[in-house]
Amino acid sequence: TSYNLLLLPGDGIGPEIMAEAAKVLAALSDLGLAHFETEEDLVGGAAIDARGNPLSDETIALAKAADATLFGAVGGPKWDGKGPFHLRPEIGILGLRKALGLYANLRPAKCYGPLATASSLHAELVSGLDILVVRELTGGVYFGQPKEIVTLQDGQRRAVDTQVYTTSEVERIGRVAFDLARKRKNLVHSADKNNVMRTGTLWRETITDLHAAEFADVTLEHILADNLGMQLVRKPGQFDVLVMDNLFGDLLSDVAAMLTGSLGMLPSASLGDADPVTGSRPSLYEPIHGSAPDIAGQGFANPLAMIGSLAMSLRYSLDEPDLADRVEAAIESVLEQGLRTPDIAAPGQNAVSTAEMGTAVAEA
Ligand code: NAI
Ligand code: MG
């Protein structure tokens, strides 16, 4: 099989880590099991500098046509806070999510074998941890109307954000979570605040109905979102797939992520709905971290989140689970060999560069 991937390195460390993902792709092609064609384009600040536009229509068209899109990161001090909103680097990512209709954000928090990071305070709690947060990405309080700050007659200001969900929005994200659970441990925890929010009630009822109608074979538990925050820190191993709205998912996926160590290790996937005619499903794969301007250009960024994102694209978009397993096993094996970029190195340990880490994964 031949696949066509769009690479959007972006800004800061984006191009450095994308080069390592490209090495791994080349190594996969060399196995002779599948062939990978890549195309590259500018996005974010790099595209502003070259074209005056962080996300061109041509880039969107390339992403729609590709079997999967790998995205590095966008933004940096050169552009931050400057110019009108529609000309900021962030539009490179927000605009792509919108244009591709990516409503499901998958954020695994997986603890690879021996973890030697300074932040791993609770090694026994997180050892072997493998959970997947499924976050609704295009609805909820970040997008609901009205959304405004108005000045009142007495001179105070009043801010409003509105949380809105429809049954179809909840159903489609629920379906993604249940489908994924069937390929994992068959366990879904759905988080909401049904005790104090109407959207929470709708969320819980919709997930309950969907479960009864289509996924009765999967174990479903409901949990209040604040309790989930506590349980994630107390005993994360009790969870497998977690599904929640945009706001809770934003917060709690960051909590789940940091259980496992460095930002530089964590991949993500964003999925939309399959086209009813072609069957192709829009998707975007990116590390959860940003462009890390503080370390850009030094050659020491951790490429594993980017390479892990590539593995997710093999699993979820290209339907090549064996190749995804191989890439993840390669990541695991280089960590077992003790290779560490500075962000995950133990104090005093010799660290390797971005390129050394990428080459080691490609060889493995
Ligand atoms: P950041 O994730 O870029 O960096 C936070 C800290 O983590 C920094 O100290 C950085 O050096 C470190 N770090 C991040 N990735 C790493 C890696 N792969 N290896 C080693 N260390 C790593 O977040 P920050 O500093 O808040 O934002 C920097 C820029 O990135 C801003 O312009 C922001 O808007 C943008 N950003 C872009 C995102 C995207 O493109 N999806 C997401 C988050 C931020
Ligand atoms: Mg966030």
Mean pLDDT calculated for residue range 75-84? 87
At residue 121, the pLDDT reads 55
Residue 253 Cα to ligand 2 middle (Å): 8
- Tell me where in the chain the CATH 3.40.718.10 domain(s) lie: 1-111+265-364, 130-259
Active-site position among 193, 245, 285, 343: 193
The closest-lying atom of ligand 1 relative to the alpha carbon of residue 343 is 20
Nearest atom in ligand 1 to the alpha carbon of residue 302 is 19
Mean pLDDT of 99-119: 78
Model confidence at 117: pLDDT above 80: no
Ligand 1 proximal residues by C-beta, below 6 Å: 13, 73-76, 80, 93, 263-264, 286, 289-295, 301-302, 305, 343
The whole-chain average pLDDT of the chain stands at: 93
Nearest Cα residue to 34 out of 57, 74, 2: 2
Is there a catalytic annotation at residue 30? no
Nearest residue CA, atom 18 of ligand 1?
A: 264
Encoding tokens for residue 311? 């593995």
Q: What is the ipTM of this complex?
A: 0.98
Is the pLDDT confidence value at 116 over 50?
no
To test the pocket of ligand 1, the residue of 42, 263, 302 to mutate (highest count of ligand atoms within 8 Å of its CB) is 263
Known catalytic residue at 254: yes
pLDDT of amino acid 83: 79
CATH class of 1-111+265-364: alpha beta
pLDDT of residue 122: 66
Is residue 179 annotated as part of the catalytic site, yes or no? no
The mean pLDDT of 233-250, rounded to a whole number, is: 96
Give percent of the chain above pLDDT 70.
97
Which residue among 289, 298, 341 is best mutated to probe the pocket of ligand 1, counting the most ligand atoms within 8 A of its Cβ?
289
Catalytic residue among 64, 98, 130, 142: 142
| The pLDDT of residue 22 | 97
Residue 146, preceding peptide bond in cis (omega within 30° of 0)? yes
Name the residue at shortest CA distance from atom 42 of ligand 1. Answer: 290
Is 285 one of the annotated active-site residues of the chain?
A: no
Higher pLDDT, 110 or 364: 364
Q: Report the range of poorest mean pLDDT among 26-35, 132-141, 272-281, 322-331.
A: 272-281
Topology, domain 130-259: Isopropylmalate Dehydrogenase (3.40.718)
The span from the CA of 101 to the CA of 229, in Å, is 28
Q: In whole angstroms, give the CA distance from residue 16 to residue 19.
A: 5
Distance from Cα 268 to the centre of ligand 2, integer Å: 12
Write out pLDDT tens, residues 300-334: 999 999 999 999 999 999 999 999 999 999 999 99
Start-to-end Cα distance in the chain: 22
